């Protein structure tokens, strides 16, 4: 298997991990709205694990193949770069926020956790969904150079 093939396979795995994280976040949010803390915790651990594994595989993919240049042009390029820029910025921002949420739970500071989660979870969800959109645009729809 060539480096490019490994990179493309890792990109597919990463898209799957992003989708898993997004679904787990949604199900975790539904569970906590129903006051089912056991299921909420299970889905949040799933989202955190999928996101952490994503990060490891993403860095591995970049090591193997580097970054790619989006092949789309015109409005598609503007849309792609806008999504990619917001995705990257918020992906960097979300790491300390999620770590803080985990710390608050471990410290049993549930009220503070709930207040912070109200705006952290939508950002995390956005990052997960836009990661999938970036994959689809770059690997499935327009391609890369």
Token representation of residue 50: 């999928």
> What pLDDT is stored for residue 114 in this prediction?
97
pLDDT class of 129 with cuts at 50, 70, 90: very high
The predicted model gives 49-73 an average pLDDT of 96
CA 48-136-44 angle, to 5 degrees, is 15
Of 44, 72, 65, 42, whose CA–CA distance to 134 is shortest? 72
* pTM (2 d.p.): 0.94
């Amino acid at each position: 298997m060539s480096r490019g093939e490994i990179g493309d396979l890792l990109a597919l795995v990463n898209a799957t991990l992003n989708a898993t994280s997004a679904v787990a976040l949604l199900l975790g949010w539904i569970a906590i709205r129903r006051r089912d803390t056991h299921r909420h915790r299970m889905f949040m651990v799933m989202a955190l694990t999928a996101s952490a594994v994503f990060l490891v595989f993403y860095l591995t993919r970049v090591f193997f193949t580097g970054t790619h240049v989006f092949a789309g042009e015109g409005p598609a390029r503007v849309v792609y770069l806008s999504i990619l820029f917001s995705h990257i910025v918020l992906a960097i921002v979300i790491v300390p926020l999620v770590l803080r949420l985990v710390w608050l739970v471990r410290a049993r500071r549930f009220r503070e956790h709930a207040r912070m989660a109200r705006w952290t979870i939508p950002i995390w969800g956005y990052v997960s969904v836009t990661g999938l959109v970036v994959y689809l645009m770059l690997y499935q729809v327009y391609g890369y150079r």
